[in-house]
Amino acid sequence: MNQPDSGDDGLFDHCPWLYAEQASGRQRAAQEQRQKRLLGGAEAGAGAASVRLGEGCFVAETAAVYPEHLSLGDRSYIAAHAYVTGDIRTGADCTINPFTVVRGTVTLGNGVRIGAHSSLLAFNHGTSPDLPVHQQPVTSAGITVGDDVWIGSHVVVVDGVTIGDHCVIGAGAVVTKDLPAWTVAAGNPARRIRDRREPREAGRRKGVSGGAVSGGVAPELSEFANSARAQAADLLDRCWQPGTGRYVDRPGAEPTVRAHCDAVEIAALLLGQAPPQLPAAEHAARLRALQDPVTGLVPEFAAAPPVPGPAGLPEDGASAYHVLCVGYALDVLGSSLAHPVHTVRATTPEQLVGHLAELPWPDRAWHAGAWVDSWATAAHWNLRLGTEAAAPGALEALFGWLHTHADPWTGMWGSPTSESGRLQMVNGYYRLTRGSFAQFGLPVPYAERVIDTVLDHARDPRHFSPGRENACNVLDVIHPLWLCARQTTHRGEEARSWASAQLTAALRRWHPGRGFPFGPTPDGTGPGREPGLQGTEMWLAIVWLLADLVGLADVLGYRPRGIHRPEPARPAEGMA
């Protein structure tokens, strides 16, 4: 409503929260003209800027607003002398207060309040010694801020940072690293003080151990596990095809071997029994019958027997993963593969080492790590069947090669890439160590360096900003953190803080009666955002690993038994 004209046009520039209730008709008309100039691109040159202003927005006359793109959500404002450039997108009820600088690619959720004199600087200069600083190239990874965040006065947030939902950043902080949801942080560099949900007294009493964060999610964790168990039978029935006698990952998809194995693991986890669509013995018989007796490999339904590679296994594809999922589904059912994996059983140390050297470690470390996972798992099943794992000395050659080729700076195999950063390297590390060191009960080399690498990767907004996480990427961070925590306490507080935030986010992904979606994938293929068996099987294991790292796994009342089992499948002495 219009109020009497106070004549003080600077009032609302500096106190824009008063505008809606106190502005006069003349002052509202002036604001309308201000917004029209922005919408018309007048300040940046006609047509240069793309601007969208929601209902009830306010932009101070004295604010320097020169964006490439500006999208203000409803009831948001930019106050006096703010400096705004680049690609800025906000949700509803966001405030950029006086003298604040917001530059580069910055995305704010709903209800983000930025105090006066703060700076969100989503760009950086290079620092190589061959050029003066003013000639260095400019890079921009972007800044992402979640919903319901309060950033105090004189705070600086640097490029590449993600601030989770419900965070509070104390005045004068310099935020250089990602902050999980519900974090109260302060200092230079900003560090976690407590979880916003815990009382201040508890935060001072418990320090920053993460115990209060863990305790806060316990009731929700218990409720989730109880709901998942109650819905498990319907979830499995949804993906069962009575006509074919097979499982699909999700309605509308084609039946796959993996879907049957995922159903077995989900049922074992949540129901403590085989999937109710068939007796346990029938499940085992159908899976055993899939194995090709000549190679020992398992093809996809109706596919020709797989063609083994130079060291016994294809480099990737369904048949390589079936070594894991069929073998462990049978193990969960109290059965085993019908035949040894003959192609691995015949592998010599020379063949193995030669092939390891030829795997695509520099740019496809995930594929290389997945091959090692499948080969080592095949060797494990061969030992379980009472035969040789491979030719004499081959299994020892595997671990010798891995130890001598791990990078002491990262603890990993492979290298970062310009396209995806550390993604291939970290994801390949999980697959490799799952089938080798973890499965055989051996310590990993350079555990502290692995934790450093994984925590750095977990801050990459290309893979871990809101809406981008998927089951593979989260699993491939939590498993190395969980595994290395068995050997060292290095950066344990940070690892637990990350796990706590991810645990809260993971529980929100459950779809009643349908399970978990896998999550978005860069190429849009795969299970994606539709709930299905693969996403459910993986996220149930992820939730357990996250909960175990923060000391709450017992609340769930389940423990992974198959591919993601926490115990070694074979003690180290079993290699002989």
- Among 14, 69, 117, 125, the active-site one is 125
Cα-only R_g, the chain: 27
Residue 66 β-bridge partners = 85
Residues 6+ apart with CB under 8 A from 59: 31, 34, 35, 38, 53, 65, 72, 77, 78
Collapsed DSSP state (helix, strand, coil) of residue 29: helix
Angle at 223 between CA 220 and CA 227, to 5 degrees: 140
353: exposed, middle or buried (Cβ count in 10 Å: 0-12, 13-18, 19+): middle
The pair of three-digit structure tokens given for residue 304, joined into one six-digit string: 């020709």
322 has catalytic annotation: no
Residue owning tokens 């690498």 = 453
What are the φ and ψ backbone dihedral angles of 534, each rounded to 5 degrees? -65, -50
**Sign of the dihedral through C-alpha 255, 257, 258, 263:** positive
| Residue 140 C-alpha from the chain's centroid | 21
β-pair partners for 89: 71, 107
- Which runs of consecutive H residues, i.e. helices, occur in 406-446? 423-433
Residues in contact with 298: Cβ distance below 8 Å, sequence separation at least 6, in sequence order: 257, 290, 291, 292, 306, 319, 322, 323, 326
Report the alpha-carbon distance of residue 504 to residue 461 in Å, rounded. Answer: 18
- Per DSSP, the residues of 357-377 read HHS-TTT-HHHHHHHHHHHHH
Instruction: For residue 497, give both structure tokens.
Output: 């803080």
Cα atoms found within 13 Å of the Cα of residue 14, Cβ hemisphere only: 4
Cβ neighbors of 392 (< 8 A, separation 6 or more) are 349
The CA distance from 348 to 181, in Å, is 50
What CA–CA distance (Å, rounded) separates 239 from 244?
A: 12
DSSP state of 27: H
Helix (H, G, I), strand (E, B) or coil at 110: coil
Type and span of the H or E element at 105 = strand 101-108
Closest CA to 76 of 57, 89, 90: 57
Tell me the C-alpha distance between 306 and 343, whole Å: 11
Neighbours of 9 (CB within 10 A): 16
Residues that are catalytic: 125
